[in-house]
Structure 1
Amino acid sequence: MILLVFLLLVTSGSSFAADIINIPLHPVKAPIESFRRVLDDPQLTPPNSTAPEVKLRFLKAEYNAYITIGTPGQVFNVIFDTGSADLWVPSVKCDEDNIACQTHNQYNASASKTYEAVGDPFRVNYPYGGVKGHLSRDTVTVAGIPIKDHVFAEVLEQSDVFQDTSADGILGMGFAHLSVDRKPTVFDKMVEQNLVPAPVFSFYFQSYREDKDESESVLTLGGTNPDHYTGNFTFVDLTRVRMSNGFGTFCKQGCPAIVDSGNTLIIGPFTETGDLNRRLGGIRVLGIPGMYRFHCSRLNRMPDLEFIINGTPLTLTSKEYTMEVDGTCLSAILGRRFGYRKPRYWILGTFFMRTYYTQFDRENFRIGFAKANHSSK
């Protein structure tokens, strides 16, 4: 049974993360501590003869992967984030009183043979905090592939919000114009240095289960992996994705939306998501603004949500837009309050991308969706 329908309309542009956003988006963390996972020792994925892949791991509601910076390589756990375009990690020069910095791996420029000073100031403010530091240049290794002379940020100050995150930093996968200093991104440099077969990357996220290790999730650099999807891709041109529902009660004129690997949940304006969750039978979760829960016994009777892209319906079942944690069934559709004059947009995070294998085609300025293949996982 399909009750609620979202229509995705598109206009032309050039940004994976919506050029209406003036600052990169910080990954919104699902506020559930029992999402914790035990992380294995770091192992970098060796290059593939076709398209190299990065193994992603699920920890504290984030999909993370290891990279190295410098020579010899210093290991960092980062979020590969399509909602931003900068690479930053904590610096060994950060203040001892900055707990967020001290609880993560720190880059030591003096320990790298390939380090070069840049020195330009770096600062970015996310909706839930910010970071501040300066730019440096060094070799960045992703999926076993060294990217030479990449400019990244050494962070000296971090907001407290980063204190309990599992990732040391963020590796932005968006277009360079989303970068604070309009510098080429890591993936830009991979394409420029002919390190990947094509200017395309794709995400496969393993379905969430409390009892499952999600280390099989992968980011494919330079193409797609047919093992991880079924059927054909539905493509949507960039950049502004708009959505409305078939009843005309949500976003009647369409709402801006982005597909963001740096966010866990499906996030929208506080009022609209509250109305949607209540129509689905949701009950507010006290102490967590914008979050709703459901009676677990009702999940099988709850309607599907249908997203229509270029005339093709992409459906999420009730089990795909909810999560069961410690016996409580929570909605993966979270409300967020927007400040005055800020755009009211939707974010299709990894809960959406788990169901639909997502291809980011930079050459043709489009995003493709295909049904993720979880049958053998």
Structure 2
Amino acid sequence: MNLLGKVFILLPLLVSQSVGIIRIPLHKTRSVRRALSDGLTFEELKSAAEAAWRSDPSPTPSIPVEKLTNFMDAQYYGVISIGTPPQPFKVLFDTGSSNLWVPSIHCSFLDIACWLHHRYNSKKSSTYVQNGTKFSIQYGRGSLSGFISQDTVTLAGLEVLGQQFGEAVKQPGLVFAAARFDGVLGMAYPAISVDQVKPVFDTIMAAKLLPKNIFSFYINRDVKSGVGGELMLGGADPQYYTGELHYLNVTRKAYWQIQMDTVEVGNTLTLCKTGCQAVVDTGTSLIVGPTHEIRALQRAIGAFPLLMGEYWIDCKRIPSLPVIAFNLGGKMFNLTGDDYVMKISKMGTTICLSGFMAMDIPPPAGPLWILGDVFIGRYYTVFDRDAERVGFAPSRKKRVE
């Protein structure tokens, strides 16, 4: 969906169709933003924060208005395959978009991002069907473009026949060149699919390949763990969460959009005072909100503005940081400082960054909050297409075998 360090590598599993939950292990990697900023030392980052704070302690650096899709902070990825025999691709499973695309063997020699990643070659697939319709997806100031093709897509042994997808021949800027993923597999609704291409999960639904038209995410944000989590197709696994799932109806069948009642920052600040819309997005690492509200939140938790929209927090302050509570359907979903502060280690030094970022999403899609992996990592999340709802329950640690 919209553009901090983790990757899902899907390990192919031999499974039967329509016989239960299909499990896709997730693995970790750095985000694009983290990779691009790694050229700076922590001392330089801290100096930038202090300089920004001295110049103006209230506003953050200028933040551009962007579309919802922005993969700078995407963290979790997995491996799918396309074609016969299978050609593997690392993809971002993104509930904030609906199209599947991967780099094409036909990309330009000048497209650095394309040549740094796996490329689909239709000539090597016996199940390829030509389409050729041109497509273009806008990302910030540039656009990703190419053409539509059709082939068999395989997810952990589950074959999705006749799936249309994009072969990208042009990828803009440094974002995709620095990304560890090859492409994106969108898991949002058909309404936002470019060129009305049927999303992969909708093709799965039409073919009745799963016992339930549900998928769920367990994300492990423990930086010391080598396990990234798991994507489950066809249901939810109670071994990953405690208590009962709390469901909210989808308010607009485009993104996985729900109603949020308020956001409480300790006992001192209330945001989203009259209610607001929120999107649950596995393609965004952070929790994102409107600029004026995120600025107020960052001030309330004592965060200093850094470069590229990030905020620095003194790691010693984590135990005393306020609880931030999200009121969803009358139930409070709490995040502590340990939940919403990210610890980044480099050369024996640790820096702590706020898990919140400002971004103004213009109408008609916005304004919106985005509940990304900082939230999903604390709360196991179920996406239910049968009942058109999203479910949350507190996550618990479980090793993915």
Q: Same fold (TM over 0.5)?
A: yes
Asked whether the 8 Å contact 1:79–1:262 carries over to 2, the reply is yes
In the TM superposition, residue 268 of structure 1 has moved relative to its aligned partner by 1.3
Structure 2 counterpart of 1:365: 388
**TM norm structure 1:** 0.85
SS at match of 1:230: coil
1:308 corresponds, among 315, 319, 327, to 327
In the TM superposition, residue 245 of structure 1 has moved relative to its aligned partner by 3.3
C-alpha distance in structure 2 between counterparts of 1:231 and 1:293, whole Å: 34
C-alpha distance in structure 2 between counterparts of 1:199 and 1:376, whole Å: 25
Shift in alpha-carbon separation, 1:206–1:305, aligned structure 2, 3 A: same
- Following TM superposition, where does structure 1 have runs of at least 4 consecutive aligned residues deviating by more than 4 angstroms? 246-249, 337-342
In the TM superposition, residue 336 of structure 1 has moved relative to its aligned partner by 2.2
Deviation string for 1:56-105 (max 9, x for gaps)? 11112310100000000000000010001100000000001001111110
C-alpha distance in structure 2 between counterparts of 1:242 and 1:127, whole Å: 26
Structure 2 counterpart of 1:163: 177
1:60 corresponds, among 11, 30, 34, to 30
C-alpha distance in structure 1 between counterparts of 2:134 and 2:288, whole Å: 31
Asked whether the 8 Å contact 2:263–2:327 carries over to 1, the reply is no
SS at match of 1:370: strand
Structure 2 counterpart of 1:271: 292
Kindly indicate which of the two structures has a greater share of residues assigned to strand: 1
AA aligned opposite 2:193 = S
Q: 1:88 and 2:109 equivalent?
A: no
In the TM superposition, residue 340 of structure 1 has moved relative to its aligned partner by 8.6
Mapping of 1:319-334 within 5 angstroms? 319-326=338-345, 327-334=350-357
C-alpha distance in structure 2 between counterparts of 1:368 and 1:339, whole Å: 27
SS at match of 1:58: coil
Structure 2 counterpart of 1:3: none
Q: 1:51 and 2:51 equivalent?
A: no
Structure 1 counterpart of 2:308: 288
Structure 2 counterpart of 1:16: none
In the TM superposition, residue 130 of structure 1 has moved relative to its aligned partner by 2.7
Asked whether the 8 Å contact 1:207–1:374 carries over to 2, the reply is no
Structure 2 counterpart of 1:123: 136
Deviation string for 1:225-267 (max 9, x for gaps)? 1111111011000124234335675333333210000111111
Deviation string for 1:5-50 (max 9, x for gaps)? xxxxxxxxxxxxxxxxxxxx33x2x3xxxx377x98x731332642
2:233 corresponds, among 198, 212, 221, to 221
C-alpha distance in structure 1 between counterparts of 2:369 and 2:222, whole Å: 22
2:378 corresponds, among 336, 340, 355, to 355
C-alpha distance in structure 1 between counterparts of 2:298 and 2:215, whole Å: 33
C-alpha distance in structure 2 between counterparts of 1:226 and 1:341, whole Å: 37
Deviation string for 1:337-364 (max 9, x for gaps)? 4569872211100110010000011011
Asked whether the 8 Å contact 2:260–2:326 carries over to 1, the reply is no
Structure 1 counterpart of 2:262: 244
AA aligned opposite 2:132 = G
In the TM superposition, residue 308 of structure 1 has moved relative to its aligned partner by 1.7
C-alpha distance in structure 1 between counterparts of 2:114 and 2:144, whole Å: 10
In the TM superposition, residue 181 of structure 1 has moved relative to its aligned partner by 1.9
SS at match of 2:247: strand
In the TM superposition, residue 173 of structure 1 has moved relative to its aligned partner by 0.5
SS at match of 2:97: coil
SS at match of 1:132: strand
SS at match of 2:271: coil
Higher relative contact order (CA 8 A, sep 6+): 1
C-alpha distance in structure 2 between counterparts of 1:198 and 1:314, whole Å: 26
Q: 1:180 and 2:194 equivalent?
A: yes
In the TM superposition, residue 148 of structure 1 has moved relative to its aligned partner by 0.5
Structure 1 counterpart of 2:336: 317
Asked whether the 8 Å contact 2:100–2:166 carries over to 1, the reply is yes
Structure 1 counterpart of 2:221: 207
Asked whether the 8 Å contact 2:260–2:329 carries over to 1, the reply is no
Aligned-residue identity in percent: 35
The unaligned stretches of length 5 or more in structure 2 are 32-74, 252-257
SS at match of 1:110: helix
The unaligned stretches of length 5 or more in structure 1 are 1-24
In the TM superposition, residue 150 of structure 1 has moved relative to its aligned partner by 0.5
C-alpha distance in structure 2 between counterparts of 1:180 and 1:341, whole Å: 16
Asked whether the 8 Å contact 1:47–1:53 carries over to 2, the reply is no
Moved more, 252-261 or 64-73: 252-261
Calculate the aligned-residue CA RMSD, in Å: 2.1
